[in-house]
Amino acid sequence: MTPVLYRGHRPDAEDRARDWAEIQERMLVPLYEAVYERLEVGAGSRILGLGCGSGLALLLAASRGAAVTGCDLDARRLSLARQRLLPEPNRGVRHAGPARTRLLRGTAQTLGDDLGYGGYDLVTAFDPAMPAGEVRPALAAVADWAPRGTAVVLAGWGPPERCATSRVVRSVTRRAEPGAAAFVGRLGGRDELEDMVRSAGLRPDGSGRVSCPFGYCDASSAVRGLLSTGLFDAAVEASDRQQVEKEITEALHPYRRGDGTVRMDNVFRYVVART
């Protein structure tokens, strides 16, 4: 199936948020689960998700019995998180409940007392597409107010040779404006993650790596999912969406299987730090 093409403008923001929630976000479930298992998240745990997106990581924590709070600047993704975590009572969906779930629009720097400083066992920054320039201020804010010993987890991409998706992104974004290529400013590798947490005033306390294969039912879904990450925005700005979609489809060719599905093997890194 040929992806639906758009010329000369970005996709509708609501569609993009839904593509992230319905196609792409699930690719990171092995990362979420590995961190929760390592840090023994369960009943009584209190989790804060920075850049929580459409809330899948928080939903998994809530399913373990944790009380969860999430914050994000993207109103559309946050709206989808509310549908997941705070469904209307008449939908008959079991959930953590308003008393144990909070979703706030903003950042660790801007929300202030609304976050309930000091009330968390674990703070996560899972989104590997978040630029380093946005991550550090958020972590520094946590370092300022969280009680000593609070666990903070920062995730990022693994080595490029272990991440098929990074090769796809680089091949498509190589003609973007200088300095705007997708992986410039993105975090990856244990050393870089540890340097980031140290610069924010946190103490590294271990690390791990997790296999997170990106699998899609067809090339169209792969293109939509990858575009929802924001990693190709610079390339879209430098040319147009139709051209970028064409280049992504071509770059995916080595990862297409005989049945039309797409699979890219990736390794993600995470660092556990302490305040």
CA neighbor of 71 nearest in space, from 110, 103, 98: 103
**Tokens (6 digits) for 189:** 């590798």
Mean pLDDT across the stretch 70-92?
Answer: 84
Per DSSP, 12 falls in state P
Query: DSSP secondary-structure letter at 188?
Result: B
The DSSP letter of residue 158 is -
In this predicted structure, the answer to whether residue 3 has a pLDDT above a threshold of 50 is: no
- The boundaries of the domain holding residue 122 are 13-274
Using a pLDDT cut of 90, give the percent of the chain over it: 64
Say if residue 89's pLDDT is above 70.
Answer: no
pLDDT, tens digit, for every residue of 193-236? Answer: 999 999 999 999 999 999 999 999 999 999 999 999 988 888 88
Burial of 183 (0-12, 13-18, 19+ CB in 10 A): middle
Q: How do residues 127-178 score in pLDDT, each as one tens digit?
A: 988 877 889 999 999 999 899 999 999 999 998 889 999 889 988 887 665 5
233 close to 175: Cβ distance less than 8 angstroms: no
pLDDT at 92 over 50: no
Q: Is position 150 within any domain?
A: yes
In this structure, the strands spanning 67-72 and 101-105 are: parallel
Q: Is 7 among the domain residues?
A: no
Q: Does 4 map to a domain?
A: no
Please determine, for residue 179, whether its predicted confidence score (pLDDT) is greater than 50: no
242 vs 6: CA distance, rounded Å: 5
> How confident is the model over 17-73, as pLDDT tens digits?
999 999 999 999 999 999 999 999 999 999 999 999 999 999 999 999 999 999 999
Name the one residue in this structure whose structure tokens are 């629009």: 105
pLDDT value of residue 100: 80
Q: What is the pLDDT of residue 48?
A: 96
What is the four-CA torsion angle of 59, 63, 69, 71, rounded to 10 degrees?
-10
Q: What value does the mean pLDDT of the chain take? A: 86
The model's pTM is: 0.87
Task: Indicate whether 2 belongs to any domain.
Answer: no
SS3 content of the chain, % helix, strand, coil (to 5): 45, 20, 40
Mean pLDDT of 240-262: 95
- Whether residue 3 lies inside any domain: the answer is no
The DSSP secondary-structure symbol of 142 reads H
Here the CATH number for the domain that contains residue 34 is 3.40.50.150
How far does Cα 176 stand from its chain's mean position? 23
Give the pLDDT of residue 132: 79
More confident of the two residues 116 and 165: 165
106-132 in b/e form (b: 16+ CB < 10 A) is: ebbeebeeebebeebbbbbbbbbbbeb
5 inside domain: no
**Per the domain annotation, does 167 fall within a domain?**
yes
Could you tell me if residue 209 is inside a domain? yes
Kindly tell me if the per-residue pLDDT of 96 is higher than 50: no
Q: What's the structural domain count of the chain?
A: 1
Nearest CA-CA partner of 121 in 153, 81, 96, 85: 153
